[in-house]
A = this chain, B = another copy of it.
Amino acid sequence: MSQKCIGIDIGGTTVKIGVFTTEGELLKKWEIPTRKEEDGKYILGDIAASVKEKAAEWDMPYADFVGAGMGLPGPVEPDGHIPFCVNLGWKAGNPQEELSALLGMPVKSGNDANVAALGEMWQGGGRGYQNLVMVTLGTGVGGGIILNEQIWPGVKGVAGEIGHMHVMDEEKEQCNCGGYGCLEQAASATGIARVATRMLAAEETPSVLREIETITAKDVLDAAKAGDELALAAINKAMRYLGWAMASITMVVDPQAYIIGGGVSKAGTFLTDMIQKYHDVMSPMSTQKAKVVLAELGNDAGIYGAARLILG
Residue numbers of A with Cβ under 8 A of B are 131, 145, 147, 152-162, 164-166, 169, 177-179, 244-245, 247-256, 282-288, 290
Q: With contacts A178-B284, A179-B285, A285-B177 known, is A251 near B152, CB below 8 A?
A: no
Give Cα distance in the complex from A252 to B155, angstroms: 11
Cβ 8 A contact of A155, one of B159, B169, B254, B282: B254
Query: Please, how many angstroms separate the alpha-carbon atoms of A152 and B287 in the complex?
Result: 18
A and B contact pairs by CB, cutoff 8 A, 27 listed: A147-B152, A154-B254, A155-B255, A155-B256, A155-B290, A156-B287, A158-B250, A158-B254, A161-B251, A162-B251, A162-B252, A164-B251, A164-B283, A165-B247, A165-B251, A165-B252, A166-B282, A169-B169, A178-B284, A178-B285, A179-B282, A179-B283, A179-B285, A245-B248, A248-B252, A249-B252, A253-B253
The answer, among B164, B250, B286, for a CB contact under 8 Å with A284, is B164
Complex: A145 Cα to B255 Cα, angstroms: 13
What residues of B have a CB within 8 angstroms of the CB of A284 in the complex? 164, 177-179
Complex CA gap A312/B244 in Å reads: 35
With a cutoff of 8 Å between Cβ atoms, the chain B residues found around residue A244 in the complex are 166
Between A166, A255, A256, A290, the greatest number of chain B beta carbons within 10 A of the residue's beta carbon is seen for A166
CA distance A255 to B283 in the complex (A): 23
A252 to chain B, nearest CB (A): 5
- Name the residue on B nearest A145 (C-beta): B252
Chain B contacts for A162, CB-based, 8 A: 251-252
The answer on a CB contact under 8 Å between A166 and B252 is no
Extra contacts, 7 of them, besides A131-B155, A179-B284 (Cβ < 8 A), are A147-B152, A152-B253, A155-B254, A158-B254, A158-B286, A164-B251, A179-B282
Q: Is the CB of A158 within 8 A of B285?
A: yes
A85 to chain B, nearest CB (A): 15
- Using known A-B contacts A152-B253, A158-B254, A256-B155, determine if residue A248 contacts B165 with beta carbons closer than 8 Å: yes
